[in-house]
Structure 1
Amino acid sequence: MPEIICYFSPQSGYAYLGHGRLREIARAAGADILWRPVDILKVFAEGGSTAPAKQSPQRNAYRKQDIVRWAKVRGISINTEPKFWPTDTLPACRLIAAAQLEGIDPADLIGACLSAVWARDIQISERDNLVRLANEVGLDGEKLATLSDSVEAADKIARNTAAAIEAGVFGSPTYVVNGEMYFGQDRLLFVAAALGVAQERVAQEHLS
């Protein structure tokens, strides 16, 4: 079965924009997604990247325009100035890791965390909010939150982060298919092509 490795931060706006499309591609290709939440600040530091919130006013102005265009393409809502971004992502990363330790596919939980930041103005660094988000997608939020405090969950994030740095990852989201790395959700067209999946349509109405 084909595999897609996805290195991501649960507060990444572009991971949010690409989340649904990535899952569509995986379903169409019969591929497994190997979700790898990372400590994005360490990835930025090792990769020589600047966190989006600290980039120049010009780049941030363009980023806001860009995410609105992509939200139209994907048919989802997005807040260009989310109330709780940037934030401490390690609690959410560890919650996702806890789900994985329980053998749970974390895709819905990841989507809930991403949309919490970019569509719902929910603080994902707070335990009670994470419990609620997990419950909303049918998981046992209290159990996962407790497990997220474990050494095993923290170690999983540390290993993911080290693997990302070793692979040359410098931002979120980054996808790896057949050993090839694709940075950014706009490169999902290459992920789709690598897996023989048809491309999505971008229309004129998406541009304004």
Structure 2
Amino acid sequence: MAHIDYFFTTLSPWAFLAGQELEEIAARHGATITYKPLDIAGLFARTGGTMPADRHPSRLDYRLQELRRQAKKRGVDLNPKPPFWPTNAAPSSYAIIAAQAAGGGDLGALVHGIMRACWIEGRDIAQDDVIRDCLTAAGFDPALADSGLLAGAETYGRNLEEAVAAGVFGAPFYITDGDERFWGQDRLGDLDAHLSGAL
């Protein structure tokens, strides 16, 4: 059975724009997914990336244009400048880690729901009530927002170390069990083709 390690940050508009295409691809190929939320600032610092606030204006202007185009292609009414962004990604990441360990709900829906709360609904995904709402909507116990914080923090840090060691430098980033790497939501078609044996 094929497996995909999915490295991402809940703050990424590009990961949000992927929707649940990853889950659809995995289902089509009978693949499993391990969700690995990570600290994107830490990743950039370790791999030569630059946070949006520190980028040249020309890069920021292009980013906004590309967000508009990609959102239109996917039929998503994304707000490119949500009111609570950037925010602390750790609480939502810990909740995802706890939900993955607990099982019983739809993890892909949880990840997408948290990002939707930021990029469509304009909510602060660092807040407990927002995280609880997303957990409930995805079929998880909302109390997971308060449980396993130490384990969540440890896994969150470990995900960053694993990402750096695996050659990850951005988000979303997908790695198959054969070490094929795909960066960006616009490479999901290539991931699909690889799993089918065409690439």
TM-score (norm 1): 0.88
Alpha-carbon deviation of 1:114?
A: 0.8
Preserved CA contact (<8 Å) 2:107 2:138: no
Preserved CA contact (<8 Å) 1:29 1:197: no
Deviations 1:95-136 (A, max 9, x none): 101101213452111011111111110101111221122122
Rounded to whole Å, the distance in 2 between the matches of 1:182 and 1:130 is 28
Superposition pairs of residues 40-119 of structure 1, within 5 angstroms:
40-104=40-104, 105-119=106-120
Rounded to whole Å, the distance in 2 between the matches of 1:57 and 1:16 is 23
Deviations 1:65-95 (A, max 9, x none): 1122222222222111111111110011101
Aligned CA distance change for structure 1 residues 145 and 134 (closer, same or farther; 3 Å): same
Partner secondary structure for residue 77 of structure 1: coil
Partner secondary structure for residue 19 of structure 1: coil
Partner secondary structure for residue 182 of structure 1: strand
Residue range with higher mean Cα deviation, 116-125 or 152-161 = 152-161
TM-score (norm 2): 0.92
Write the letter of the residue equivalent to 1:136: A
Rounded to whole Å, the distance in 1 between the matches of 2:153 and 2:54 is 26
Superposition pairs of residues 188-199 of structure 1, within 5 angstroms:
188-196=188-196
Preserved CA contact (<8 Å) 1:17 1:185: yes
Write the letter of the residue equivalent to 1:170: F
Rounded to whole Å, the distance in 2 between the matches of 1:23 and 1:79 is 24
**Root mean square deviation, CA, Å:** 1.7
Rounded to whole Å, the distance in 2 between the matches of 1:38 and 1:29 is 26
Partner secondary structure for residue 76 of structure 2: coil
Alpha-carbon deviation of 1:145?
A: 1.2
Superposition pairs of residues 147-162 of structure 1, within 5 angstroms:
147-149=147-149, 151-162=150-161
Structure 2 unmatched ranges of 5 or more = none
Structure 1 unmatched ranges of 5 or more = 199-208
Q: 1:167 maps to which residue?
A: 166
Aligned length: 196
Q: 1:26 maps to which residue?
A: 26
Rounded to whole Å, the distance in 2 between the matches of 1:67 and 1:30 is 31
Alpha-carbon deviation of 1:185?
A: 1.1
Deviations 1:118-172 (A, max 9, x none): 111010111122112212222221x2012142x2121111111110011121111
Aligned CA distance change for structure 1 residues 72 and 19 (closer, same or farther; 3 Å): same
